Structure 1
Amino acid sequence: MSYLLIGNISALICNDCIEPLVNARIRIYLPATRYPSDNEAGVKGIFHDMKQLSAKEVLMKADRLLAETTLDENGNFSLTWDEIHLFTEALEMDLCLDQMPGKNGSHQSRNFHLSKLVPHWKRNSNGYVGAYAYVIPAEVWRTIYQNAGAWVITGLVKHQQRAAGTPRLKVEAYNALSGQLIGQAYTNETGRYMLHFSRKNLYSGFMQPIIPGRKNLGPDIYFKIYRNEQLLWSEDEQRAKDQDRQDVAPCSCLDIMYRPSVVKRASDHIGSWLNGVITLTGTRKNKRDRYRLLTHFSLL
């Protein structure tokens, strides 16, 4: 007989967007004591505030490790272990972030205690099956990003005359303080993008300006939108001076509404110029034909 625990670990970027914890590791431990203490017995539910663990704390519980696995691209996990304890015993669940989603920020192991729980096991022919899911609160996830020197920006990209988002567009984000491209992403089928970058992308080769009152040390953002690698719309750089675009927080939601393309207008000008050339060429041809006809009659 064996145990199988399946689940998902994700994090809130903002109220309407969840980010899966890609490549994070989940660990399951046996409890430190066979029986819960009076304090633990009084705790109801399995969801508690995340607690960061030191490297020493992780090392001290290594002998109690039951199973460990890596979350997939959707934040899902599947853990199995042999039946070596009673299914009524509590388990400890820890999370390890070796790197932030998007592979940005400082690379170091960040360990957190997630929960102490007794899953609701279901018996089947092979053993016991349980499930667990947890969404890290936005304020906690923002702090983790900030400590890692990383950013994630998400939002909806849509045309000003349409309610729905626009899929398959490339979004480029620029830092107005340095003029540099700091990240790019593509919109999904609903028109939402998710863009990652780190502090090293902000001022590469430049001194970071010190501006009083900036708690995030973040960029001032403006965007460019591409379709099939052709510029569809470029946001005015002055947009980066608006309050919602200045000193962008580590976890931010910035919607983009693009207008009729400047590239399209340029194409219209080119089309008008070509039409003019064709008209002029046609006029000259008609004059040439008339001249030849008069010359022909004079010779007769």
Structure 2
Amino acid sequence: MSFIIKGNFSARLCEDCFENLSQVRVRIYLPLRENDVAAVSAAAIKDTFRELSDEEIKAKQNRLIAEAETDMEGNFGINIDEKYSRSAFEIDIYCDSVPRLPHPPKKGKARQFHITTFTPEWKLIDDQNHVSNFQCRLPSKWWCMIKGKYFDVWSICGQLIDCKTKKALPGITVIAMDADFITDDELGRNVTDSNGYFKIFYTSVEFKKTFLSPVINIETDVLLPFASGPDVYFQLEYGGQRFALETKANRRNNVGYCLCVKLCAKELIAVESDTPPSFTHFGLTQHIPIQSGINLATGKTLAGYAFFSSVNLIGTICKKINAQPMEYLFEFQQLANPTDAINPGNWSPIVPNMIDKTVIGYLYTYTGDPNNFVDFEDYYINGTGTEKTVTFNGNWIQVPQESNFIGHADGQILKLNTEKLAGVTTIDMSTPTSTIGSATVSPARPQVKNKYYALRMRQRQQGNAATEMIAGTSKPIAIYNVLYKNVNKNGSWAPSTVSDQYIAVSVDLQEIVAGLSGCSKVTNALHVKYGARNENLSNVSLSITGPHKPGQSFGFDPIALLAAPETFGSTQLIFTPPTDTVADLLPCAYTVSISATALLTTGDGNLNSYNDFVSFCKV
């Protein structure tokens, strides 16, 4: 026969906000004989709850009869020996951590707390098993003190609603800020649930930061006691944009370990970036620094890539400079070599037709709709139709001045079409298939090397040349925009040509060429001819697909790259076992494929591989 106490521990942070006590140990003790069990069992937890000293824990150790750890939901189950089934029990919790989502539980010195004396009411659930249920929710005044004083975990619980409709606003990030004399710190953030509720946990480290941190950490409001709490106000974030729900003027001063709030959103003001206008990176995805991310010796990225096609120039813009509307301009300078010195007087503007359609920010509109909290409308350079698009002042891009416009911070501020900047070179590769495997560079098809351009951003108050400043200059970058026309494909088997290829890559079989027919059959020899061309060629590889005998495998040796801009040659199959030859292939159809890659990037994506193949029949 079994006796099980099933229970749950939780604790209030606020009147309508609670959390489960996970990973705490529940300890069951026999009561002292001299205690008035009936009286202490009837007492409220607020009257019985207390922390035990080390001496008290040691003194009651011989009365401990069972213990168990709560799960993530605060649930536990403890088996009680049948001989104690008629007894009352003292229930304590022993913990060395407290919840601090989304981070792991906060660790600290283990402490034990007496909860209450519990007299089970056993219910027979089948012929052999008895269960008694125990539920405990600790009052907020105790739990907030335990978390804050002993484990340095401070808590904010709240709900976000629409001020007019009173409806909950789900899916909004609430950000708790600490207002300081020198600089405001972010304490923590959390996304509202389906009912608009959120919890934010933080430690004193977050509100004791200073401009000298981490060397010196202390609340920067030095006029207040060291033990004071933060001065809290709230901001919101939605769709990647931050909004000022409150300002530091609305702050709650010196809050305690637990703060309970009900927030409502009405007129929102977007928080502008405090980063000065600047040009800092290439590519939203790869985020390549314009100086440290470029190899001065080659003009390529540190990974060895040259740029091609359209490249996102990344940085920050603001609506105003010194309270006046801002405008900005990008300029370029071509150099013969990436190591050449930049000429301060030789810059040329990037004109509007060199700029691809670019999103530089957006307009926001507060809707009050819980399912669509804020509407966003993109703002473009070179927008079309009814799209919001910027005005040019000559070649200067005027930053929109609508009150609800927010410009990108560390985002796309210009999409440069490098083909219009540097031009596109086309090379006609039309030749007989018999030339595959040979050099293609000739006076008619000369080598076209990378071009090198430095880029820079300038900013100013609109129309005021006296306020112009440089806001970021890149190292010279390598740009390669070459398109190959009439590239041979499928060899002599099913000959065709394709154009507008970034890599010219072809493969053929000498045996088919010699047979003067794409259907010529292979019997005992196979010579694969290949060629690939691009100034930034990275890898060329051959493969073959088709059936093989048991224990037999075949393939090609790695292809060594020749000097830029191409590699070419002829090769044969390598067999295992090495005694096998082409004559040992099974009579069937086979396909030889070639793949070539080049180190070209837009900063957001790299050039895909280019391929060709030729098939044959083994008889």
User: TM-score scaled to structure 1, two decimals?
Assistant: 0.78
Name the CA shift for 1:278/1:43 in 2 (closer, same or farther; >3 Å): closer
Residue 32 of structure 2 corresponds to residue 12 of structure 1: no
User: 2:162 matched to which residue of 1?
Assistant: 159
Residue 111 of structure 2: aligned partner: 110
Residue in 1 that maps onto 2:131: 129
**Stretch deviating more after TM superposition (134-143 or 40-49):** 40-49
The aligned amino acid for 2:266 is R
Within the candidate set 236, 241, 244, 1:231 is matched to: 241
TM-superposed CA distance for 1:46, in Å, is 5.4
Q: Is the 8 A contact 2:157 2:197 kept in 1?
A: yes
Normalized per residue, which structure has more strand?
A: 2
Q: In the alignment, which residue of structure 2 is the partner of 1:23? A: 23
Q: Post-superposition shift, 1:65? A: 2.2
Gaps of 5+ in 2: 271-362, 366-374, 393-619
- Percent identity, aligned pairs only, is 25
Taking structure 1 as reference, are residues 186 and 67 closer, same or farther at Cα in structure 2, changes over 3 Å only?
farther
Question: Per-residue displacement from partner, 1:236-288 (whole Å, max 9, x unpaired)?
Answer: 432443xxx1111111111222235536159559379955877999xxxxxxx
Q: Distance in 2 between matches of 1:180 and 1:156?
A: 22
Letter in 2 for 1:233: F
* Aligned with 2:257 (options 250, 258, 261): 250
1:61 paired residue number: 60
Q: Does residue 96 in structure 1 map to residue 108 in structure 2? A: no
SS at match of 1:222: strand
Distance in 2 between residues matched to 1:31 and 1:143, nearest whole Å: 27
* Inter-partner Cα distance in structure 2 for 1:156 and 1:70: 31
Structure 1 contact 183–195 (Cα < 8 Å) conserved: yes
Residue pair 1:105, 1:198 contacting (<8 A) in 2 also: no
| Contact residue 92 and residue 116 of structure 1 kept, 8 A | yes
The CA deviation string for residues 22-48 of structure 1, in whole angstroms up to 9 with x for no partner, is: 222211122343xxx364444451533
Output the amino acid matched with 2:42. Answer: G
Aligned to 2:379: 270
Match of residue 182, structure 1, among 170, 174, 187: 187
Letter in 1 for 2:264: M
Which residue does 1:294 correspond to in 2? none
Q: Which secondary structure does the structure 1 equivalent of 2:236 belong to?
A: strand
State the alpha-carbon separation in 1 of the partners of residues 109 and 86 from structure 2.
Answer: 35
Higher relative contact order (CA 8 A, sep 6+): 1
Q: Residues 181 and 82 (structure 1 numbering): CA distance in 2 closer, same or farther, change over 3 Å? A: same
Alignment of 1:72-91 (within 5 A): 72-85=71-84, 87-91=85-89
Alpha-carbon distance change, 269 to 63 in structure 1, aligned in 2, over 3 angstroms: same
CA contact (8 A) 1:142 1:250 kept: yes
**Would the alpha carbon gap of residues 117 and 207 (structure 1) be closer, same or farther in structure 2, given more than 3 Å must change?**
closer
Q: How far apart in 2 are the matches of 1:168 and 1:23?
A: 29
Report the Cα distance in structure 2 between the residues aligned to 1:44 and 1:84, rounded to whole angstroms: 20
Q: Is the 8 A contact 1:25 1:68 kept in 2?
A: yes
Q: Is the 8 A contact 1:121 1:130 kept in 2?
A: yes
What is the correspondence of 1:198-209 to structure 2 with a 5 Å cutoff? 198-204=203-209, 205=213, 206-209=217-220
Shift of 1:142: 3.0
1:84 aligned counterpart, secondary structure: helix
Distance in 1 (alpha carbons) for counterparts of 2:195 and 2:95:
29
- Distance in 1, matches of 2:185 and 2:133, equals 45
Shift of 1:179: 1.5
CA contact (8 A) 1:216 1:249 kept: no
Q: Compute the displacement of 1:14 (Å).
A: 1.9
Q: Partner of 2:546 in structure 1?
A: none
Are residues 1:169 and 2:172 paired? yes
Instruction: Please say which of residues 260-269 and 216-225 is displaced more in the overlay.
Output: 260-269
**CA, structure 1 residues 162+71, in 2 after alignment: closer, same or farther (shift >3 Å)?**
farther
Matched residue count: 273
Residue by residue, what CA displacement relative to the aligned partner does 1:100-153 show, whole Å, maximum 9, x if unpaired?
221576611121101112111112323321011122122222322342232111
Provide the C-alpha distance between the structure 1 equivalents of 2:224 and 2:208, rounded to a whole number of angstroms.
19
Q: Deviations over 1:153-191 (max 9, x none)?
A: 100012223322122222221211241221122212211
Q: State whether residues 67 and 80 of structure 1, in contact with CA within 8 Å, keep that contact through their aligned partners in structure 2.
A: yes
Query: What CA distance in whole angstroms lies between the structure 1 residues aligned with 2:389 and 2:123?
Result: 78
| Alignment CA distance shift 1:120-1:46 (3 Å) | farther
Alignment match, 1:191: 196
Q: Equivalent residue of 1:162, what SS?
A: coil
Q: Deviations 1:46-72 (Å, cap 9, x if unpaired)?
A: 533301101232233233322222223
Q: Which residue of 1 aligns with 2:295?
A: none
Cα distance 1:44–1:203, how it changes in 2: closer, same or farther (>3 A)?
A: closer
- Structure 1 residues 30 and 60: CA distance shift in structure 2, 3 A: same
Q: Distance in 2 between matches of 1:54 and 1:44?
A: 22
User: What SS is found at the alignment partner of 1:98?
Assistant: strand
What residue is the counterpart of 2:289 in the other structure?
none
Which residue in the other structure is 1:45 paired with?
Answer: 42
Let me know the Cα RMSD of the aligned residues. 3.1
Unaligned segments of structure 1, at least 5 residues: 282-300
In 1, are the aligned partners of 2:160 and 2:264 still within 8 Å (CA)? yes
For residues 51 and 278 of structure 1, do their structure 2 counterparts lie closer, same or farther at Cα, with a shift above 3 Å needed?
A: closer
Q: How far, CA to CA, are the matches of 1:169 and 1:270 in structure 2?
A: 23
Contact 2:68 2:76 in 1 (8 A): yes
Q: Residue type of the partner of 2:133?
A: A
Measure the CA separation in 1 of the matches of 2:190 and 2:112.
28
For the residue of structure 2 that corresponds to 1:100, the secondary structure is strand
Given the alignment, which residue of 217, 220, 235 partners 2:228? 217
1:216/1:247 contact within 8 Å kept:
no
SS where residue 264 of structure 1 aligns?
strand
